[in-house]
Structure formats: C-alpha cells, structure tokens
Amino acid sequence: VTLSHEIHLASRPDGWPTPENFAFVEVPVPDVGAGEVLVRNTFMSVDPYMRGRMNDARSYAEPYQLGQVLHGGALGEVVVSESPDLEVGQTVLHAFGWREYAWGPAGLFRAVDPAAAPTVSAHLGVLGMPGLTAYVGLLDIASFQAGDAVFVSGAAGAVGSVAGQIAKAKGASLVVGSAGSAAKVAYVEGLGFDAAFNYHDGPVARLLRTAAPDGIDVYFDNVGGDHLEAAIGSLRLRGRVALCGSISGYNTDAPTGPRNLGLATGNRLTLRGYIVSDHGDRMKAFVGEMSQWLRDGTVRYDETFVDGLAHAPDAFLGLLRGENTGKMIVRL
C-alpha cells in the first residue's frame, strides 16, 4: 500500500458545519517501522463532540487543526505488522479517525473481539465509548437506584438508547425518553422504555409532565436547553442529573440555559457533568455487564450506516440533524 485517503478540516464552521469545512485528500503511506502496524479501516465513528473540536477553542479535547485529519474512534484490520503484539488480520480499535489507512506504534491500537456482539461495529457504540458513557452517567454520575423514575433525552441515539435500557434492566420504576420524530418515539418504546415523546410536539415541560405526572428522580441529559429546564421542573426531592451533553446548543454561539435553576436549592438537586474518558476504570465492569445484556437480549441496539470515506462529513452532518437511529457509523 502506498497511498491512502483522509478527510481533513478545511475550514472552521460558524454555526452549522457545511461540506466545505471538509476536504478529501490523498496522502502517501510511509513504510511500516519496527514495532508499528498498518491498519485498513473498516468502520469509523462520527460523534457529537467532534463539533466542539472543529472550533478553535480550548476544551477537554484538543481542537482539530486546519489541514489535518479529523481524529476519532475507528475500527480496522491489521494488514502489515512489524510488532509481536498484533497479527495481520486482527481487528483493532484506535483513535486515528477519518482515514482509509492508519499506521503507527502497535500500542496505539487495541485488539477487540469481533465476535463479542452481533456486529463488530458495536465496539464503536453499545460496547464502546457511547455505551460506557451511558453506564457511567446513569450509575456513577446520577447515582441511579432501583425504583428511580428516569428521563433520558436523545433516547433514540447511541448513548440515550443504552442509558434508558440500563435503567430498565436495573429496576427503574419508570423510564421516559424523548426523541425528534414519531418513528424514533416508536423505536424507543420498542426498546422497552415505558413512555416516549417527540419533543417537536409541544413544550418539553408539558410533554414530560404528561409522561411522568409524579415527577422524576434522575435526568440523563444529552440535549440541554429546554430539555434541561423541563427536567429541573419535574425533578423530585434529591433528584440527580447527569450532564452528559447539550447537543441543542452545539451549533449556536447563544445556547439557552435553564431559567429555573433556583429549584435546585429547595429540592436539594445534584447536577453533575462528566467526561467518559476520565472513567476508564469502569470499562471492565461495563463490558462484563453489557456483554451479558447483549447475549440475553436485555439490551438491544441499532446502527445507522453511511457508506464510504468520502461520505463521512455527510454522516457527521446527518448525526447533528438527527438522521441516525442508534449509533451513526461510517462503513468503509
């Protein structure tokens, strides 16, 4: 292999990204040195946090550099190995992002079991970073207890669909989900959520009160904005919020915040943000439980595939617009 293709950041978006922010480029593949591997990518992840990395702003993840590849989670097959640690043909997970081939020290590639789930791409979703995000957010950050009534926004997405199913598996008294279309509401109900609503159907506060008339104990927040305000209005005494993400504000520089935060004092609420990469110590427990849930059908998952490296920007823009059910994945 002498040539590869990559998607680079061509310019920084102002508001919603556009296809012009990305460039499809051809690059030479260097010789594989001692201790290194060459990997042909098979699946790539597109994730909401990548939107933040397109800005030139300090955050928990480094900004993407202009003219450089968009890094992120991907799966591939080892095609050349100069390392005793990885064999040709092994499936590996890495963070080299949107490219046809990835290469480097073998230690930056982690072998995964392709048979661990019905699809190998599950390592980018339910069995990977988004699944761990759901697990840690619900159990550790929101301190979920059996009997809690739970509200999950972004419920048809990669993280939300898993968070709600874990809550059901662990004995929630009620799990309510919100999503952006009637078809997604039906999907979420099919996963075993007790109720779901389309947030376009009215003010979120009213829709949530109808679905959970007695209030909620836990809110798993993927959306922020009016969803967070509605949840604060419905939380009972000592309610807890996992601040996982606030996608409603990612493409605007004037995101809205909750106006009713004053309720947090009297109701002794806890609102806690977190970043999944700080919680690698929970990976083993998560994979153990999730593997069992996948085997016995307790947790189900869906994936939305977009084909071809050149269409990675479309997959990413589609994710931000809500075109995915379950995990959005680029298939090479």
| Contact positions vs ligand NAP (CB under 6 A) | 47-49, 130, 133, 154, 156-160, 179-181, 184, 222-223, 244-245, 247-248, 274-276, 319-320, 322, 324, 328
**DSSP strand pairing (22-28 vs 36-45):** unpaired
Q: Is-contact 294 279, C-beta < 8 A?
A: no
* 38 versus 163: smaller Cβ distance to ligand NAP: 163
Provide, rounded to whole angstroms, the least separation between the CB of residue 29 and ligand NAP: 30
Tokens linked to 233? 């209005």
Name residues whose C-beta falls within 8 Å of residue 49's C-beta, 6 or more positions apart in sequence.
61, 245
Provide, rounded to whole angstroms, the least separation between the CB of residue 244 and ligand NAP: 5
* 86 versus 154: smaller Cβ distance to ligand NAP: 154
* 78 versus 328: smaller Cβ distance to ligand NAP: 328
* 82 versus 140: smaller Cβ distance to ligand NAP: 140
Provide, rounded to whole angstroms, the least separation between the CB of residue 86 and ligand NAP: 27
Q: How far apart are CA 191 and CA 173, in angstroms?
A: 16
* 210 versus 277: smaller Cβ distance to ligand NAP: 277
Tokens linked to 85? 């640690």
Tokens linked to 143? 């301190």
Provide, rounded to whole angstroms, the least separation between the CB of residue 32 and ligand NAP: 32
Q: Is-contact 242 235, C-beta < 8 A?
A: no
CA 145 vs. chain centroid, Å, equals 23
Tokens linked to 6? 């990559």
Q: Is-contact 38 78, C-beta < 8 A?
A: yes
Q: How far apart are CA 38 and CA 69, in angstroms?
A: 17
Provide, rounded to whole angstroms, the least separation between the CB of residue 59 and ligand NAP: 11
Q: Is-contact 207 229, C-beta < 8 A?
A: no
Tokens 């993407």 found at:
64
Name residues whose C-beta falls within 8 Å of residue 331's C-beta, 6 or more positions apart in sequence.
42, 43, 121, 305, 306, 307, 308
Provide, rounded to whole angstroms, the least separation between the CB of residue 173 and ligand NAP: 24
Provide, rounded to whole angstroms, the least separation between the CB of residue 1 and ligand NAP: 31
Name residues whose C-beta falls within 8 Å of residue 296's C-beta, 6 or more positions apart in sequence.
none
Provide, rounded to whole angstroms, the least separation between the CB of residue 177 and ligand NAP: 9
Q: How far apart are CA 114 and CA 121, in angstroms?
A: 8
* 101 versus 135: smaller Cβ distance to ligand NAP: 135
* 162 versus 172: smaller Cβ distance to ligand NAP: 162
Q: Is-contact 124 329, C-beta < 8 A?
A: yes
Provide, rounded to whole angstroms, the least separation between the CB of residue 205 and ligand NAP: 14
* 82 versus 189: smaller Cβ distance to ligand NAP: 189
Sign of CA dihedral 255, 258, 264, 270: negative
* 133 versus 234: smaller Cβ distance to ligand NAP: 133
